[in-house]
Amino acid sequence: MKGFRRLAYPYAIWAVIFVVVPMLLVLIYAFTTRGNSVLTFRFTLANFARFFSDKIFISVLLRSLKIALVTTIICILLGYPVAYAISRFSPNNQALCVLLVTIPMWINMLVRTYAWRGILLETDLSPEMKVYIGMVYNFLPFMILEVYTSLSKMDPNLSVAAADLGCNNRQVFTKVILPLSIPGVLSGITLVFLPAVSSFFIPKLLGGGSFVLIGNLIENYFVTTGDWNFGAAISLIMTIIILISMYFTRKFDYTEEERA
Residues near another protein (CB under 8 A): 155, 157-158, 160-168, 171, 175-176, 179-180, 256, 258-260
- Please report how close the Cβ of residue 132 comes to another protein at its closest, in angstroms: 33
Do the beta carbons of residue 13 and residue 19 sit within 8 Å? Answer: no
Q: Which residues lie below 8 Å from residue 203, measured CB to CB, with a gap of 6+?
A: 67, 127, 131, 211, 212, 213, 215, 216
- Least distance from C-beta 170 to another protein, angstroms? 11
**Residue (158 or 244) nearer to another protein, CB:** 158
The CB-of-172 to another protein minimum distance in angstroms stands at: 8
Q: Which is nearer to another protein, 119 or 158 (CB)?
A: 158
Distance in Å, CB of 176 to another protein, minimum: 6
Phi, psi torsion values for 68, nearest 5 degrees:
-65, -40
With a CB cutoff of 8 Å and minimum separation 6, the contacts of 139 are 71, 75, 191, 192, 195, 196
**Residue 100 or 165 with smaller CB distance to another protein:** 165
Residue pair 80/184 in contact by the 8 Å Cβ criterion: no
Select 28 or 167, whichever has its Cβ closest to another protein. Answer: 167
Q: How many CB atoms lie within 10 A of CB 161?
A: 13
Give min distance, CB of 215 to another protein, in A.
37
**What contacts 24+ positions apart, CB below 8 Å, involve 156-163?**
none
Pick the closer one to another protein by CB: 28 or 178.
Answer: 178
In the complex with another protein, which residue's Cβ is closer, 126 or 174?
A: 174
Minimum separation from the CB atom of position 200 to another protein (A): 39
Please count the CA atoms within 13 angstroms of the CA of 72 that sit on its side-chain side.
19
**Nearest to another protein of 34, 175 (CB atom):** 175
The beta strand positions in the chain, using DSSP E, are none
How many secondary structure helices (H) and strands (E) does the chain include? 14, 0
Q: Cα–Cα distance between 216 and 202 in angstroms, integer? A: 9
* In the complex, minimum distance from the CB of residue 185 to another protein, in angstroms, rounded to a whole number: 13
| Vertex 16: Cα angle to 246 and 27 (nearest 5) | 60
DSSP 3-state assignment of 188? helix
